[in-house]
Structure formats: structure tokens, C-alpha cells
Structure 1
Amino acid sequence: MTLLVLGVVLWIAAHFYKRLMPTARASMGDKGKGLIALLILVSVVLMVIGYRGADYVDVYNPPAWGIHANNLLMLIAIILLGLGNSKSRFRGAMRHPMLAGVRAWAFGHLLVNGDLASVILFGGLFLWAFVQVPLINRAEPEWTKPEPGTLVGDIRLLVIAGVLLVVIAFVHNWLGYPVFPG
């Protein structure tokens, strides 16, 4: 559990560093980008190893309908994660679609996992994605809404999201975490 907590804390610290200490981060120059990227990579490795190695400690019983809600939220999360860089007509609909996608992903996983490791991992990343939005908005108050894309961009985004959902489901099943019930 220690590695998991350390991974989540390192993820949050690496992401908050630029927002909470912009002068210190700017003084690091381009070398700082590499260091932050390395810290984020290390945090992901720690979270994966920590989560997979954590003992099961029951916290709550997830609802039976949580599986279906999670699968829908995963599709929404994938769409949101791709929205900002897509050619979709909706890419300017929100300022932080990737962080909204992380929140949808994390919340969905809290609906199907009631153990302590899941609460630490998904709850921690949900809270990070929630707090990150006002930090970014405060640091960068000006936002230029991107020009809308096309219907073809919408279709491309939906097809890619659907394919990614299938791939993610396959990987989850392969790792022993079945996605679709029954």
C-alpha cells in the first residue's frame, strides 16, 4: 500500500509543482520538463505496482448497477480525453476535457471497486483532477476557445473511442479484471 500512496502523492506533487511554484518551475527551463515527465512516469509505475500488490481491504460494497455505469463512464472518459486534440465540433465545449475525462474514469472505477487500494488510487486521482482545474484557471486566466471541427471529426472521435474501449476491456480481461458482466 505504501508504493500506491507514494505513487499517488508523487503524481499530484509533480502536476501541482508548475501551478503552485511557477517561478521555481520556470527557473528549471527545459530540463525541468524532463524531470517532471520522469517523476510522472515513476509515479505511474509506483501506482501500478502498489495497486496490484495491495492487500484487499473492504471499505464499501459497490452497487450492482455500478458495472454498467462504469462502462458508460469509461466511454465518456475516453471521448473526453481525446476531445481537446480532436477535430470534433465539440472540442471547444469545455476548457479542461482531459481532466473531466480523468474524473469520469476515476468515479466510474469507484462505482465498481470498494476496496481501500481503489479508494486511494481512484479517489486520489479524482480529487487531483478536481483541484487541478481551478489551479490552471488561476495560473492561466485567458483561454482561447478552439474553432469547432466537423461532423467527420465527431465520427472519428467516436470510432476511436469505441475501439479504445474494446482494447481497454480486452486488456482488463487479460489481467483478470473482467469489464462486461456475465
Structure 2
Amino acid sequence: MMGGWAEFVAALAVFLLSHVIPVRPPVRPWLVARLGARGFGIAYSLFSIAVLGWLILAAARAPYVEVIPPLPALRWVPILIMLPVCLLAVAGLRAVNPLSFGGLGRGVFDPTRPGILALSRHPLLLALALWSGAHLLANGSLAHVILFGLFAGFAVMGMALIDRRKRRELGADWARLAAGTARLSPRGLPALLAPRVLWPAALLYLALLLAHAPVIGVSPLP
């Protein structure tokens, strides 16, 4: 039994350590000094995605222990939720975001036009929370409950932790930059429907739908 769980435990440990060590002083300043703030953000995002992919595959290969019975209706939940997840992910990655991580947009953030940050300062974490909750309901094995429950908790707690860290780092600038933003608010919903977000998100949704079975080994369709 332990042999069957070894890969999942190892992947989970690497995932947790990868989200603790690189952002701690003095590691983060050392990496930023060598890669630049933008380079660090890109490298950290790519590394996190790779570790996340490994963890998802390891959970699928772990021994099956049922926690939530597989109800057919629950298989529709990820299908429906993944479109807003893709919208949030694309909007978050394209944004200029000094208040969280993952914003790869160029330029200077304009607090009077916060865009997706009016909906959430942490669009990628919000996407992660929705993705996790939807997949937890549809995948009720012990490994998946641990995996997606951890992700959901990580996303929700991460919003508060990043807000606290950014307040400390930005000092007096925090109030000015965050004035038109929110941790969660419907005010920024129109930003999800901008063509520069909508079309890439639709393509991402389709790509994930088509790649799910060959990559994960399970069809996402009910």
C-alpha cells in the first residue's frame, strides 16, 4: 500500500516545499536579484505548473479509496466551472498586477482602471479555488480529496497571506494601489468578457477539454 502512495506523497511534499522555500527571505530576494522580478515570476509560474502537473498525475495513480460516492450529476460540475476558471486565468496572466503573483502584463498598473483586479486582486488564486472545488466534487477518492482540498485551502488562505505581505512591502502605496480592487467582488466581472480575454480563454477551455483524456487518462465528459 505504501508503495502505491509513495509517488503521491513525494509529489505533494515537493509541491508544498516549492510554495514555501522560493518565496521566503533570503531565497526570494536572491532569485529576484539574478532573474529580475519579471523573470522570477515567469520561472516560478512555469516551475509551479510543472510540479502541479506531476501532483495531479500522481493522485490519479494513487490507490483508490472512496470518500465521496461517484454521482453522475457531479461530473457536470467541472465542465461548467472550467470556463470561468479559464477566463480568470487568462485575465489574471494578462493583467499588470502589483498586488499578487502571476500578472505578466507589461506597463504600469493604473489604480483608476483596475480591470480584473476589481473582481479579485488574486484572479489566479480564485481560479485555483474554483478549479479545486469543482474537481473535488467530481473526484471523490482519498487522494483527490486531499489534493483538491489542499488546493482550495491554499488558494483561500493565500489571498489573505499575500494581502498581508503586499501591505508590508508596499507600505503607504498599498492603500492607493488597492483602492479600486477587492479580494472578491462582482464589480470586475465585465473584465472577463473583454475580447482579449474571452477568445484566448475559450481556446484554452477547448484545449483542456481535448487534452484531458490523453494527458490525465480520464475523459472529463459525463
TM range (shorter): 0.7 to 0.9
The residue aligned with 2:14 is 10
The residue aligned with 1:22 is 25
The separation in 2 between residues aligned to 1:108 and 1:140, in whole angstroms, is 29
Match for 1:118 among 131, 135, 144? Answer: 144
TM-score relative to the length of structure 1 = 0.78
Per-residue CA deviation, residues 124-172 of structure 1 (Å, 9 max, x unaligned), is 2222212211111111012725899x98971231222122111111111
Cα offset, 1:115, TM superposition? 0.5
Match for 1:83 among 82, 88, 91? Answer: 91
**CA contact 1:6–1:43 (8 Å) conserved in 2:** no
State the AA in 2 paired with 1:107.
G
- Among the aligned pairs, what percent are the same residue? 25
The separation in 1 between residues aligned to 2:72 and 2:52, in whole angstroms, is 29
TM-score relative to the length of structure 2 = 0.65
User: For residues 68-79 of structure 1, what are the structure 2 equivalents within 5 Å?
Assistant: 68-79=76-87
Unaligned runs of 5+ residues in structure 1 are none
Per-residue CA deviation, residues 30-89 of structure 1 (Å, 9 max, x unaligned), is 37x599679646633641442242121111114433222221211111111111244798
Count of aligned pairs: 179
State the AA in 2 paired with 1:104.
L
The separation in 2 between residues aligned to 1:5 and 1:46, in whole angstroms, is 11
Per-residue CA deviation, residues 94-135 of structure 1 (Å, 9 max, x unaligned), is 100000001111111011100012112222222221221111
The residue aligned with 1:67 is 75
Cα offset, 1:179, TM superposition? 1.8
SS in 1 for 2:128: helix
Match for 2:134 among 104, 108, 111? Answer: 108
State the AA in 2 paired with 1:115.
S
CA RMSD of aligned residues (A): 3.4
The residue aligned with 1:179 is 220
The residue aligned with 2:194 is 154
**CA contact 1:89–1:154 (8 Å) conserved in 2:** no
